[in-house]
Amino acid sequence: MSQDSSQDAKEWSHEAVVERLAVEMFRGAMWAALATVALCLAVWTVVAGVTGLVSALIGGVIACLSSVGTLVLMRKTAALPVQFVMVAALGGFFGKLILLVGVLFLLRAFPALHVNALALTTVATIVVTTFMEVRASKRSRSQIVIPTPGNT
């Protein structure tokens, strides 16, 4: 009996809930992000040719990596208290924003890249990915109140 109760406690621990939420958010956002990048690749190839294709591909990769970075941050901080997870999420968001603006600013210096294709693909992918992550979080079965043994 004690093995079952310890397994149940592990299954419903804060860490397990946050990790499960990160997986659900990843699943919810992965296909939408790839579809957005594919659509942007097609549009920018028609609009700007090979330059648009390469620029949109770079923007899509940057956006996808930043979104995966958020979910990795969630998984790495899952064992910490809730307050630290929230601070890490906010810090990760601001860090991602600063990093993206910096990368886009630096890539503007390359005349071979189509700036609009790069920027709009990055923004579109991040907006779609963020929307899908929020949607997955709202629909998640992980959003539950976990009573502690002393407070039941």
Q: Does residue 52 sit in helix, strand or coil?
A: helix
Q: Contact, 55 vs 117, CB < 8 A?
A: yes
Query: Would you kindly state where each structural domain of the chain is located, as residue ranges?
Result: 12-141
Q: Does residue 139 sit in helix, strand or coil?
A: helix
pTM attached to this predicted model: 0.79
- How confident is the model over 48-59, as pLDDT tens digits? 999 999 999 999
- How confident is the model over 102-121, as pLDDT tens digits? 888 888 888 889 999 999 99
